[in-house]
């Protein structure tokens, strides 16, 4: 008997009809994927901080204290598709790591940020582990297929 493949699905947290951008959780039993669980466990005030930051990213507001990606000069250019939303409070840094994707074949400008990992860290700690995991998940064929299926255009 074949072992069953890990199932993935997307759940949007921002309005799905936004013509330019969206933020969605990747949901799965895959233990590496913790973003949705982490988000659901946030304190009310922290959740509002992140919701505001998702809004700001959607509107294109420059806000490096709230979110950023990594360029070719960082981590040898391995994580240029990765993205993070950040919130620092009371010496605890909270992070939602994800990746960017342009999933609509007919509109390559449309961009989603797929949130994968949630992390609580000591402030200023630099840890590649989360980025490695996000990148592994990003390039997995099952995840790519999930995204493609979600945005498959109806004939």
Partner 1 sequence: MRTHWTARSIEDYLFRIANDFIVQLQNKMESKHISQDKLAKKLGVTKGAVSQWINRPGNIGLRKMIEYARALGMKLSIVAYEDGDPENKRGPIDSEIFRMCWEQLGRPRNFQAPHANAADNRVPFMRRADDVNKIFRDFKMLEESKGTLNDFLGCPLPISLGKIEGNKTNKEIKPS
Give the residue, chosen from 7, 52, 71, 74, that forms a contact with partner 1 under the rule CB under 8 A. 52
Total H helices, total E strands in the chain? 4, 6
Stretch of 44-52, 98-106, 109-117, 145-153 contacting partner 1, by CB under 8 A: 44-52
> With respect to partner 1, which residue has the nearer C-beta, 27 or 133?
27
Does 59 engage in binding with partner 1 (CB under 8 A)?
yes
Residue 71 found at the interface with partner 1 (CB under 8 A): no
- CA separation for the pair 85, 64 (Å, rounded): 9
Please name which of 114, 109, 115, 147 lies closest in space to residue 20, comparing C-alpha atoms.
109
Specify which residues 12 forms β-bridges with.
24
Radius of gyration for the alpha carbons in the chain, expressed in angstroms and rounded: 15
**Which is closer to partner 1, CB of 6 or CB of 51?**
51
Q: Which residues bind partner 1 (CB under 8 A)?
A: 12, 15-17, 45, 48-49, 51-52, 55-56, 59, 61, 63, 65, 89-90
């Amino acid at each position: 008997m074949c072992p069953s493949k890990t199932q993935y699905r997307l759940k949007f947290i921002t309005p799905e009809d936004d013509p330019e951008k969206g933020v969605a959780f990747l949901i799965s039993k895959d233990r590496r994927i913790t973003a949705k669980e982490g988000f659901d466990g946030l304190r009310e005030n922290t959740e509002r901080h992140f919701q505001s930051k998702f809004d700001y990213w959607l509107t294109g507001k420059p806000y490096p204290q709230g979110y950023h990606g990594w360029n070719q000069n960082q981590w040898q250019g391995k994580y240029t598709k990765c993205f993070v939303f950040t919130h620092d409070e009371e010496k605890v840094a909270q992070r939602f790591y994800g990746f960017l994707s342009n999933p609509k074949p007919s509109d390559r400008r449309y961009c989603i940020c797929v949130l994968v990992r949630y992390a609580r860290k000591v402030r200023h700690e630099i840890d590649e582990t989360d980025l490695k995991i996000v990148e592994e998940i990003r390039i997995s064929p099952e995840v790519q297929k999930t995204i493609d299926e979600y945005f498959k255009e109806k004939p």
